[in-house]
């Protein structure tokens, strides 16, 4: 098992009675992919509508995170 | 649709059919066409030969969601090249309802008498503006709405435009009559000021929608587009968080401009991002609104009203570019201070991007400590007071850098960069470098592309596609976010245009309009003396690594030089 931190942005954040959850610590099995994590965290968007960023770079759906990674799950927008 | 020409020296006007070569253009494309046809490329941007061109986009006039934008343009006082800046609000709709395809302000008064132009179906009235001179945008708006009624649209400048500051913009009312929609970039407020026009009042009466050749086809296309826009996931993001949904994304890529573009990650991110802003607005309640439409009929509603602790409005809206340049770029992590700075900048009629960049340069020169919001407000107060330092800052980042001896100035063609560092989002760097407009994210932002933003070899094509599409949308009068709906329903553009005008257009009409527009702008710039040497990111950004990526801007110059080689006058 490895440990990662999933950082949730905008509409991917979870709303609870105690406020919004923007960070989830996960233990995942070796070989888990980004798609596995998206499913586990229950993100209500398709991968194509997300930008998944680790250390300032986008990663693909089949990327296998490493122990200690901080994974940003960002609902993509086109501009500001 | 007619072209209305107003001679600011003679105080006369004419209305005529538009030439056939202008008919199939609107917005940014029409601005570029008129520039090339009628404005001497080597003219003084603040002299009598320049023209202020105001043109609704091709789709404007029917409250199609996010498609009623108004373009302003001329030879830029800031860049010296072709300039178009557009805004939401009600101006586009009102001009279209008067049947105006373009409003062209010409010549220059020989005296110092300021005027208000009143435009209605009865023509143009030239009225004195003496009581408005020196007043900020908000107070001027109150007076003008009292005088002319609540149903008019307004186009106006603040003290910055009156003083011909190069960072001044042109302000328009939103649908709630707040002067908050600014065609900010390129110093067009100074161009309007050079014509001694403080405000244009547009009274469209009850207004008539421009004629539609095939109403059934238009309604069908509108329905398909509306549904696509409603269903798009970005619509909910912009509705809930506004454009300030962006900080997490830009910072996530290491591209948030921080302390005068010296870093790409801001440690105060949590305090200024859209998620926090939404919580503050909802908690404070009162006049605050996390979602708000700037144009009638907009489905997205990405605007907002940001309140103080007592629920009273500080500013509307608070947008990402302003937050980025007046926040992290100055080391400021307090949204209340950023909102106050935003209000001041709006009231003066200034471009918040250009002023944020100028203040960042000033901070690097030691005139304020990064993070000192009160000092930032004092510096903006210098602009209001028209002190020597205020005049320096009001003329933008490049002049501020030259006078204060700062070489690290984030600008291309004289215009400051928006809130994406080109060393981290290199495709947007290509846009900054090669757009005829100067550094401008709205000319072709690439951050959404699912690519390695640090790989220099792939950026030119991504930027080229984005630039062509954006020039197309700007010609239609469509907001960048309308593009989400059109991307899901691409046929809708063709069908809306065909139904509206009775033309037959290709499925690639968006790209055809975009290519033609960029060619026209580049040709104007070429005649004005621009060369490939102007299509460069500042040299220091090609040498100085940007933390945390430690990246430099290293897209090959040959990619920059040949990005639009295939464009010709036919687009």
Which domains does chain A possess?
2-75 (3.10.20.30)
Using the beta-carbon criterion (under 8 Å), do A10 and B244 form an inter-chain contact?
no
In DSSP notation, B477-509 reads T--TTHHHHHHHSTHHHHHHHHHHH-----TTH
In this prediction, residue A16 has a pLDDT band, given cuts at 50, 70 and 90, of confident
CA distance B97 to chain A (A): 29
Q: In chain A, which residues have their Cβ closer than 8 Å to the Cβ of B463?
A: none
Q: In chain B, which residues have their Cβ closer than 8 Å to the Cβ of A9?
A: 245, 248-249, 252, 275
pLDDT reported for residue B571: 67
Q: Testing the interface with B: which of A16, A21, A79 to mutate, by most B Cβ within 10 A?
A: A79
Nearest residue, CB atoms, A79 vs list B236, B441, B454: B441
> What is the ipTM for the molecules in this complex?
0.96
CB neighbours of B77 closer than 8 A, spacing ≥ 6?
Answer: B45, B46, B164, B166, B186, B187, B188, B190, B191, B194
pLDDT tens digits, B236-285: 999 999 999 999 999 999 999 999 999 999 999 999 999 999 999 999 98
Using the beta-carbon criterion (under 8 Å), do B237 and A45 form an inter-chain contact?
no
Using the beta-carbon criterion (under 8 Å), do B250 and A72 form an inter-chain contact?
no
d(CA A53, CA A75): 11
Structure tokens at B150: 């609540």
pLDDT tens digits, A21-70: 999 999 999 999 999 999 999 998 999 999 999 999 999 999 999 999 99
Q: In chain A, which residues have their Cβ closer than 8 Å to the Cβ of B424?
A: 56
Q: In chain B, which residues have pLDDT < 50?
A: none
pLDDT reported for residue A80: 81
Nearest residue, CB atoms, B445 vs list A9, A51, A79: A79
Quick check: A2 pLDDT over 80?
yes
In DSSP notation, B428-466 reads HHHHHHH-TTSS-GGG---TTSSS-TT-GGGHHHHHHHH
* Residues 274-333 of chain B whose Cβ lies under 8 A from any Cβ of chain A: 274-275, 279, 319-321, 324
pLDDT reported for residue A18: 83
pLDDT tens digits, B281-328: 999 989 999 999 999 999 999 999 999 999 999 999 999 999 999 999
d(CA B176, CA B293): 9
Nearest residue, CB atoms, A9 vs list B248, B441, B484: B248
CATH number for B2-202: choose from 3.40.630.40, 3.90.1150.10, 3.30.360.10, 3.60.9.10: 3.60.9.10
d(CA B493, CA B482): 11
Q: In chain A, which residues have their Cβ closer than 8 Å to the Cβ of B275?
A: 9-10, 13, 20, 22
């Amino acid at each position: 098992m490895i440990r990662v931190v999933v950082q949730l942005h905008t509409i991917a954040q979870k709303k609870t009675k105690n406020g919004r959850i923007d960070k989830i610590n996960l233990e995942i099995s070796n070989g888990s992919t980004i798609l596995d994590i998206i499913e586990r965290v229950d993100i209500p968007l398709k991968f194509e509508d997300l930008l998944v960023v680790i250390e300032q770079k986008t990663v693909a759906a089949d990327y296998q995170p490493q122990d200690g990674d901080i994974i940003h799950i960002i609902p993509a927008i086109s501009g500001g | 649709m007619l072209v209305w020409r107003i001679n600011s020296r003679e105080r006369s006007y004419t209305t005529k059919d538009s030439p056939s070569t202008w008919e199939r253009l609107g917005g940014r494309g029409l601005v570029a066409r008129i520039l090339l046809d009628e404005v001497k490329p080597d003219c003084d941007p603040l002299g009598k030969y320049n023209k202020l061109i105001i043109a609704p986009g091709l789709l404007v006039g029917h409250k199609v969601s996010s498609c009623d934008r108004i373009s302003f343009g001329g030879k830029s006082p800031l860049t010296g090249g072709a300039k178009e800046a557009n805004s939401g609000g009600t101006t586009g709709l009102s001009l279209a309802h008067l049947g105006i395809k373009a409003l062209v302000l010409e010549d220059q008064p020989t005296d110092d008498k300021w005027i208000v132009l009143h435009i209605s179906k009865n023509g143009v009235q030239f009225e004195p503006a003496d009581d408005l001179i020196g007043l900020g945008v908000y107070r001027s708006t109150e007076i003008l709405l009292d005088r002319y009624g609540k149903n008019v649209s307004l186009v106006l400048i603040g003290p910055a435009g009156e003083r011909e500051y190069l960072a001044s913009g042109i302000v328009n009312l939103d649908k709630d009559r707040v002067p908050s929609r600014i065609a900010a970039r390129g110093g067009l407020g100074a161009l309007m000021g050079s014509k001694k026009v403080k405000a244009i009042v547009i009274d469209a009466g009850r207004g008539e929608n421009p004629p539609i050749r095939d109403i059934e086809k238009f309604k069908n296309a509108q329905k398909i587009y509306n549904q696509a826009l409603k269903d798009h996931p970005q619509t909910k993001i912009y509705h809930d968080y506004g454009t300030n949904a962006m900080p997490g994304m830009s910072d996530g890529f290491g591209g948030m401009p921080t302390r005068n573009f010296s870093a790409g990650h801001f440690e105060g991110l949590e305090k200024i991002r859209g998620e926090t802003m939404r919580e503050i607005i909802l908690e404070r309640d009162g006049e605050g609104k996390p979602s708000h439409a700037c144009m009638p009929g907009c489905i997205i509603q990405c605007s907002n009203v940001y309140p103080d602790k007592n629920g009273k409005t500080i500013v509307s809206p608070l947008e990402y570019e302003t937050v980025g340049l007046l926040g992290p770029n100055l080391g400021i992590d307090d949204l209340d201070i950023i909102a106050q700075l935003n209000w001041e900048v709006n009231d003066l009629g200034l471009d918040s991007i250009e002023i944020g960049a100028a203040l960042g340069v000033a901070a690097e020169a030691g005139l304020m400590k990064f993070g000192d919001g009160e000092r930032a407000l004092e510096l903006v107060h210098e602009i209001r007071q028209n002190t020597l330092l205020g005049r320096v800052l009001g003329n933008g980042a490049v002049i501020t850098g030259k006078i204060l001896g700062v070489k690290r100035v984030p600008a291309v063609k004289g215009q400051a960069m928006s809130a994406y560092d080109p060393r981290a989002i290199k495709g947007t760097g290509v846009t900054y470098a090669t757009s005829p407009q100067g550094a401008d994210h709205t000319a072709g932002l690439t951050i959404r592309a699912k690519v390695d933003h640090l790989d220099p070899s792939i950026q030119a094509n991504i930027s080229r596609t984005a630039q062509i599409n954006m020039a197309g949308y700007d010609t239609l009068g469509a907001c960048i976010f309308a593009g989400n709906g059109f991307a899901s329903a691409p046929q809708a553009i063709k069908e809306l245009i065909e139904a509206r005008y009775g033309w037959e257009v290709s499925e690639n009409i968006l790209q055809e309009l975009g290519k033609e527009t960029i060619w026209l702008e580049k040709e104007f710039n070429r005649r004005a003396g621009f060369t490939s040497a102007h299509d460069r990111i500042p040299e220091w950004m090609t040498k100085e690594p940007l933390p945390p990526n430690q990246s430099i801007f290293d897209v090959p110059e040959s990619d920059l030089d040949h990005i639009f080689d295939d464009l010709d006058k036919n687009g």
